Each structure stands twice: as structure tokens, then as C-alpha cells.
């Protein structure tokens, strides 16, 4: 029962055709639909639902909403009651309010980000099918990302004013949506302030993450690759396509993931991410990274933080 996994993310882009070219030729996605409003819908080759990324034309970058898929339509009613019981208002959008999607539960997180939950989206199958499938399809483009893996959201934090929406979001996800925490970064006297939080509804190290900043926003959307070799190849593809790379291939201490960070043409940060890191389970102790080791937590090889990594986002 309840939330299973990330379903899709809707992001704003300033040049729709440049964005489509990026997500097709660099990430390796496939366009599956365009609507009358100019939105473009894309999926990765190993995803079976109609789309996982919506590109929405806009005059500025950022995220419109992130949506997670639940197991059954009836779960939406139970989650609606739980969310409203927590003190957060909701709205139920009718089927087809989003193309190819059943009814949708819409609400806003304590951080101000819009989140949606749904149970039904048209299943179109993976590129290798479900009967005697090959391990990968012919004609892969770009990095050949398997799927949209997670997103990281920046949350307003001002300890002097008692504002910490990282902690508020964490509490909401655990109490109302039944996520569990896998890792955290703590700072301040006695580690009393939660700077970052990583949460899961699966066996992955994270299905969503929150980090404190000056304002709410989107830090990155992340796409899964198989291996370190695929991460290096993705870096080559980015260089060939003159993509602006933010962080060259490295490893995280947090989640143990292998990573590259880079930007789409509108400035939305992307990540290609490999390695499941460890098996996340509810009874596994929460991993805590302390203030003196946060550099190693983010960039394990150098142990050095880049200021722009937490101050530049959409």
C-alpha cells in the first residue's frame, strides 16, 4: 500500500527544442507525447509508463511539480486523509488532468514544493519488452539512462529564525507518506540542525532528498546508469555535446553513488547516477554525516565542497 516510487517530474525550460535535444541526445530519452500547450513528455528506455519527465515552456527554469506513483487508486483516498490529518490541504485532480494519468492527489510540502500522487498512468512497455527481453535495446542514444531515479529539493533554512523545512519535510514524509530516512547531514552545536535528509520508500538509498538553502527550489533530477564505466562514457557524451558540466565524475560518500552533475540548456541541474550503494531497509540504522565531514559526504574523493553546488539551483 502507498507510495512506490518516483513517477515523473515537470520542469520549466526556456527553449523547448533545445531542451528536447538535450534530454534525447545527452540523457538518451525518447519523446512520447506533445500537448497543445507545448509541453513535451519523455521516457527512458527501461521505463514502462508513458513518461517520466515533462518539459514545460517558460521564461524561467525550475520545477513545477514532482509526482510519485502509488500502488492502488484507493491509496489516494487513504493518503488524502493522512495528509489532511497532518494539517496540509489537498486537491484531487480529475483523470486526464495530466495526459494519460488517472486522478491525481495534489498538495504542497512544508517547503512549498508542489507534489502529486497518482496510481494510474498508461503503460507502454520498455524498449526491450516483457517477453524474452534483451538486456538493452539497439539504437541507444546519449548516455542511455535507464530511468528517472530521484530528485533533490532545496528547502528554506534559517536557524536564527527557527526555520528548517528540511526537518519539516522529513517529518512529513515519514509520518504522512510512510517513507523512512536512510542518511542525514547534521550541523551546529551537538549536531542539532538537520542540514540534509535522504529518504526512501524502496530498497534504494534514496527516492527523494532535501538540503537546506536560502530559498526553496530544484537542486537536481537524477537518471540511473549501470556502472562507473557508464558514468565516464556519459561524461564523454556531455563533452561531445558541449554540455556545461558542474561536477566531473566522482563518488559520493552519502549513498555511495557514482555521479556527474551537469546542466540542461535552461540551467536545470541534471545528474547521472550509478551504483545502488547499499540495500536500504527500515531497520537499517540511519547514517549520519557530521559537520566536519560533510565535504567527504558530498564529494568523497576530494573531501572539498564547492560553494556553487549548494547556492546555484533553479
Interior angle at CA 246, CA 240 and CA 250, nearest 5: 90
Q: What are the pLDDT digits (tens) for 47-72?
A: 999 999 999 999 999 999 999 999 99
CATH homologous superfamily for the domain 147-311: 2,3-Dihydroxybiphenyl 1,2-Dioxygenase, domain 1 (3.10.180.10)
- Where in the sequence of the chain do the CATH 3.10.180.10 domains occur? 3-118, 147-311
Catalytic residue among 8, 22, 146, 150: 150
- Can you give the pLDDT at residue 30? 98
At 1 the three-state DSSP class reads coil
Choose the catalytic residue: 118, 220, 258, 313.
220
> Annotated catalytic residue: which of 206, 219, 258, 313?
206
23 catalytic? Reply is no
60 among known catalytic residues: no
Task: Check if CATH label 3.10.180.10 holds for domain 3-118.
Answer: yes
Which one of 127, 183, 258, 271 is the catalytic residue? 271
| Banded model confidence at residue 308, pLDDT cuts 50, 70, 90 | confident
Look up 146 and say whether it is catalytic.
Answer: no
Please say if 206 is a catalytic residue: yes
Question: Which grid coordinates are listed for 169?
Answer: 519535510
Mean pLDDT, rounded, of the chain: 96
From the candidates 41, 118, 261, 313, which is the catalytic residue?
A: 261
Measured CA to CA, the distance from residue 187 to residue 291 in angstroms comes to 5
Amino acid at each position: 500500500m502507498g507510495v512506490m516510487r518516483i513517477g515523473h517530474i515537470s520542469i520549466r525550460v526556456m527553449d523547448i527544442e533545445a531542451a528536447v535535444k538535450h534530454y534525447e541526445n545527452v540523457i538518451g530519452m525518447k519523446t512520447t507525447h506533445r500537448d497543445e500547450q507545448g509541453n513535451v513528455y519523455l521516457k527512458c528506455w527501461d521505463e514502462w509508463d508513458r513518461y517520466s519527465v515533462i518539459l514545460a515552456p517558460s521564461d524561467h527554469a525550475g520545477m513545477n511539480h514532482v509526482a510519485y506513483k502509488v500502488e492502488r487508486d484507493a491509496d489516494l483516498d487513504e493518503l488524502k486523509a493522512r495528509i489532511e490529518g497532518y494539517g496540509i490541504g489537498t486537491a484531487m485532480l480529475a483523470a486526464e488532468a495530466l495526459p494519460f494519468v488517472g486522478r491525481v492527489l495534489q498538495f504542497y510540502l512544508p517547503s512549498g514544493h508542489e507534489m502529486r500522487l497518482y496510481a494510474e498512468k498508461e503503460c507502454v512497455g520498455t524498449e526491450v519488452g516483457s517477453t524474452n527481453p534483451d538486456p538493452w535495446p539497439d539504437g541507444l542514444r546519449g548516455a542511455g539512462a535507464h530511468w528517472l531515479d530521484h530528485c533533490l529539493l532545496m528547502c528554506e533554512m534559517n536557524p536564527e529564525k527557527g526555520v528548517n523545512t528540511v526537518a519539516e519535510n522529513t517529518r512529513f514524509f515519514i509520518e504522512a507518506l510512510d517513507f523512512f530516512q536512510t542518511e542525514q547531514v547534521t550541523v551546529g552545536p551537538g549536531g542539532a540542525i538537520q542540514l540534509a535528509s535522504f529518504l526512501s520508500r524502496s530498497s534504494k538509498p534514496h527516492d527523494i532528498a532535501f538540503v537546506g538553502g536560502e530559498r526553496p527550489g530544484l537542486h537536481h533530477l537524477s537518471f540511473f546508469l549501470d556502472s562507473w564505466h557508464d558514468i565516464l562514457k556519459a561524461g564523454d557524451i556531455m563533452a561531445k555535446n558541449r554540455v556545461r558540466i558542474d561536477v566531473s565524475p566522482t563518488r559520493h560518500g552519502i549513498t555511495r553513488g557514482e555521479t556527474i552533475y551537469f546542466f540542461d540548456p535552461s540551467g536545470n541541474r541534471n545528474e547521472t547516477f550509478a551504483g545502488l550503494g547499499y540495500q536500504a531497509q527500515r531497520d537499517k540504522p540511519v547514517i549520519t554525516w557530521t559537520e566536519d565531514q560533510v565535504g567527504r559526504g558530498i564529494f568523497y574523493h576530494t573531501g572539498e565542497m564547492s560553494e556553487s553546488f549548494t547556492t546555484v539551483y533553479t
